Amino acid sequence: MSKQFDVIVIGAGPGGYIAAIRAAQLGMQVACIDEWKNDNGGPAPGGTCTNVGCIPSKALLQSSEHFEHATKHFAEHGISTGKVTMDVATMIGRKDTVVKQNNDGILYLFKKNKVSFFHGRGAFSKAVEGGYEIKVEGAASETLVGKQVIVATGSNARALPGVAFDEVNVLSNDGALRVGAVPKKLGVIGSGVIGLEMGSVWRRLGADVTILEGLPTFLGAVDEQIAKEAKKAFDKQGLKIELGVKIGDIKSAKKGVSIAYTNAKGEAQTLQVDKLIVSIGRVPNTIGLNTEAVGLQLDERGAIVVDADCKTNLPGVWAVGDVVRGPMLAHKAEEEGVAVAERIAGQHGHVNFNTIPWVIYTSPEIAWVGRTEQQLKADGVKYKAGTFPFLANGRARALGDTTGMVKFLADAATDEILGVHIVGPMASELISEAVVAMEFKASAEDIARICHAHPSLSEATKEAALAVDKRTLNF
């Protein structure tokens, strides 16, 4: 006998588990299927984000930042310690505990919201009268029927052709998050978000890190001025980033990995490292979903084709998150999950793709929302720019972290905020004010007129807004 549901969600990453909870809140009978296993073979909902992405990477970034503070910055505060050491096993153990707390939290939320959770792989079996039959293969086999199906099966790391991840020498994000000891030499291919975050973790702990990037520009999607400032800071830290390289043969042996490449000048080079992280983007995941059984349409990248509302080519089948177009971000997946649940319930779910914030959790952090200066130029928009350096912010001086700036871009005629770009301390938190402002179509002057607490980093945001009209008070 098959079990009947109003909604079946396949995948319990941020897109799927949030969609399941929202659908249940709206009074629907909901099933959520996820196959991720913890080390004991038990369920580990939360997807890439919780298990091998956002959460564990931020746990390691935090530990490594503490280590760097203790070894390099405590003395400035008059604090002396004995020799500071890092026990990598404890750091990784703490990270695993943080991950488990999040897995358990999601299982609790499923119970609280009466979402039926199935641990196993979900696959389309066939379309049936008024819905779809989904088979679950796990500890037990189940057959479920859902009137509506939300696919949230996420993404996997992209491998270089012919170079498989062995997670010992050649690491994806998964292996990069559980290296057992600090490698002496670490190579990274791709200076995108993962390369910079994971490269920072292991550099702070003492690894000699070289990042090889194919493109000639650093962080091409980031506002140029901000990317330049970030690059300066990374150079100072000793994070070596080589741009414009062409990767050749990669050989992995017991003693490490050798990477042949051509540098930007066209010279042949070889990099010998103990471990290599390959972080060259991610590919949508529909493995084992049996999309052919129902004719679910995929594009040439393997992403499920959806419209702006996350509707697929099949009636009653929706898809959200990394498995569809758009930025591969946890909060984007969540927003789509909520919007789809609300649309199924007959409400007007909405995602504003123009105000999705991006954050890179390096030190300094990089965060932005809206368009960059180069995008505005390309779009032929007349704009005004205002910047304010953290060097002139009292709280940043007290923190001992004055790298970077806040930058506002506003429409030249209406003063509407078109983009806000931050590189510096706590940029991840500061960006929220800009997101709220842009959602409410605020002008730069609106922010300039709001009282910001003193001393706080957020005063740099107000000052950058003032700078749009060339009237900063503290610079």
Annotated ligand binding at 122? The verdict is yes
Residue 455, preceding bond cis, omega within 30 degrees? yes
Give the N- to C-terminal CA distance of the chain in Å, as an integer: 72
- When the beta carbons of 22 and 282 are compared against ligand NAI, the nearer one is 282
Taking CB within 5 to 8 Å according to partner kind, which of ligand NAI, ligand FAD, none is near residue 189? ligand NAI
**Does 152 participate in binding ligand FAD (rule CB under 6 A)?**
yes
66 is known as an active-site residue: no
- When the beta carbons of 322 and 373 are compared against ligand FAD, the nearer one is 322
Q: Which stretch binds ligand FAD (CB under 6 A): 31-39, 202-210, 218-226, 395-403?
A: 31-39
User: Which string of DSSP letters, residue by residue, matches 133-189?
Assistant: EEEEEESSEEEEEEEEEEE---EEEPPBTTB---SSSEE-HHHHT--SS--SEEEEE
The three-class DSSP label of residue 27 is coil
The three-class DSSP label of residue 230 is helix
Annotated ligand binding at 244? The verdict is no
Give the list of residues 6+ apart from residue 155 with CB closer than 8 angstroms, or none. Answer: 48, 282, 283, 284, 285, 322, 323, 328
Q: Contact at 8 Å (CB) between 421 and 372?
A: yes
Question: Nearest distance from residue 360's CB to ligand NAI, in Å?
Answer: 5
**Does 329 participate in binding ligand FAD (rule CB under 6 A)?**
yes
- When the beta carbons of 10 and 207 are compared against ligand FAD, the nearer one is 10
Q: Which of 161, 346, 187 is nearest to 257 (CA)?
A: 187
Taking CB within 5 to 8 Å according to partner kind, which of ligand FAD, ligand NAI, none is near residue 413? none
Q: Contact at 8 Å (CB) between 10 and 36?
A: no
Question: Nearest distance from residue 379's CB to ligand NAI, in Å?
Answer: 22
Question: Nearest distance from residue 305's CB to ligand NAI, in Å?
Answer: 19
The residue from 153, 210, 393, 472 that contacts ligand FAD (CB under 6 A) is: 153
The three-class DSSP label of residue 240 is strand
**Does 357 participate in binding ligand FAD (rule CB under 6 A)?**
no
- When the beta carbons of 144 and 329 are compared against ligand FAD, the nearer one is 329
The residue from 273, 289, 303, 423 that contacts ligand FAD (CB under 6 A) is: 289
Residue count, binding to ligand FAD (CB under 6 A): 38
Q: Contact at 8 Å (CB) between 221 and 417?
A: no
**Does 223 participate in binding ligand FAD (rule CB under 6 A)?**
no
Give the list of residues 6+ apart from residue 27 with CB closer than 8 angstroms, or none. Answer: 345
CA angle 334, 299, 133 (to 5 degrees): 65
Q: Site residues (CB under 6 A) for ligand NAI?
A: 160, 189-195, 197, 212-215, 247, 279-282, 327-329, 359-361
Q: Which of 459, 461, 432, 429 is nearest to 444 (CA)?
A: 461
**Does 296 participate in binding ligand FAD (rule CB under 6 A)?**
no
Question: Nearest distance from residue 361's CB to ligand FAD, in Å?
Answer: 6
Q: Which of 302, 251, 246 is nearest to 269 (CA)?
A: 246
- When the beta carbons of 15 and 425 are compared against ligand FAD, the nearer one is 15
The residue from 64, 169, 173, 191 that contacts ligand FAD (CB under 6 A) is: 173
The three-class DSSP label of residue 14 is helix
Could you tell me the sign of the dihedral formed by the alpha carbons of 169, 174, 180, 181, in that order? positive
Taking CB within 5 to 8 Å according to partner kind, which of ligand NAI, ligand FAD, none is near residue 314? none
Taking CB within 5 to 8 Å according to partner kind, which of ligand FAD, ligand NAI, none is near residue 190? ligand NAI
Annotated binding site for NAD(+): 190-197, 213, 281
Q: By CB under 6 A, name the binding residues for ligand FAD.
A: 10-16, 33-36, 47-49, 53-54, 57, 121-123, 152-155, 173, 194, 285, 288-289, 321-323, 328-331, 333, 361
Annotated catalytic residues are 454
